[in-house]
Amino acid sequence: MVDHFMNASGQNDKAFIDDNPTLLIQTIKSYLKSNRKLCLFGVSYAILDFAMNHGPIEDHILIIETGGMKGRGKEMVKEELHKQILKGFPNASIHSEYGMTELQSQFYARDGMNFMMPFSAQVHISEINDPFSKRKEGKTGLINIIDLANLDTISFIETQDIGKLDAEGRLQIMGRLDHSDIRGCNLLYV
């Protein structure tokens, strides 16, 4: 998806972190020198690793993190993750994306915490020990998603993520259910 958008941008100077960190640093500097806006989109553990090993980068950058740590680092809540990323990118604006391969829809949080849902998706929070018991607004439980954008596939998934819905219908991700499988399309990359 990100490769598609990078190609659609028409910009020649684009890079992936895993391909060549030196090239990524050069790309960041090139964008910033030319006063172009820069968006750094990636899995949480890769952005955190880059920030810790190649920062600080003082310029204003839009960072979109997604995917969590996937066993490649200490699991942490969003506030702590963003605090650590800001050590390497102190003036960055951090947004978050929440989605999964099994779904067509993605959820985005401009503040990095409160995810807005697309019209095609509904979130239900269930009791951790009773998937048929719905939690009340503001109460923490298991995240279940119905995604009507999934044509010709199963449109429901129990994520094994823990979260809650606020009064405005925004989703807050609290973390993973203990002892749940580590999943994610980024685990396919070797």
pLDDT digits (tens, 9 = 90+) for 87-101: 999 999 999 998 877
Answer yes or no: are the C-beta atoms of 126 and 132 closer than 8 Å: yes
By mean pLDDT, which of 132-136, 138-142, 147-151, 182-186 is the weakest?
A: 182-186
Query: Which is more confidently placed, 73 or 146?
Result: 146
Overall average pLDDT of the 133-148 stretch? 88
**Per 3-state DSSP, what percentage of the chain is helix, strand, and coil (rounded to 5)?**
25, 25, 50
Encoded amino acid at 136, one letter: K
Overall average pLDDT of the 12-20 stretch? 65
The pair of structure tokens assigned to 136 is 């009340």
By mean pLDDT, which of 33-37, 111-115, 171-175, 185-189 is the weakest?
A: 185-189
Phi, psi of 187 (to 5 degrees): -75, -15
Residue 123: pLDDT above 50?
yes
Q: What percent of the chain has pLDDT over 90?
A: 24
Q: Which residues contact 11 (CB under 8 A, 6 or more apart)?
A: 36
Residue 109: pLDDT above 90?
yes
**pLDDT for res 72:** 66
pLDDT digits (tens, 9 = 90+) for 23-80: 777 777 777 787 777 888 888 888 888 888 887 888 888 999 987 766 666 777 788 8
Q: Which residues of 30-44 are buried (b: 16+ CB within 10 A; e: fewer)?
A: ebbeeeeebebbbbb
**pLDDT for res 71:** 65
Of all helices (H) and strands (E), which one includes residue 52? helix 44-54
Residue 111: pLDDT above 50?
yes
**pLDDT for res 15:** 64
Average pLDDT, the chain: 81
Most trustworthy range by pLDDT among 12-16, 50-54, 132-136, 183-187: 50-54
For residue 21, cis peptide bond before it (omega within 30 degrees of 0)? no
Helices (H), 65-183: 78-88
**Domains, in order of start, for the chain:** 1-98 (no CATH), 114-176 (2.30.38.10)
E-only strand ranges, the chain: 39-43, 62-66, 93-98, 107-109, 114-115, 121-126, 141-147, 156-165, 171-176
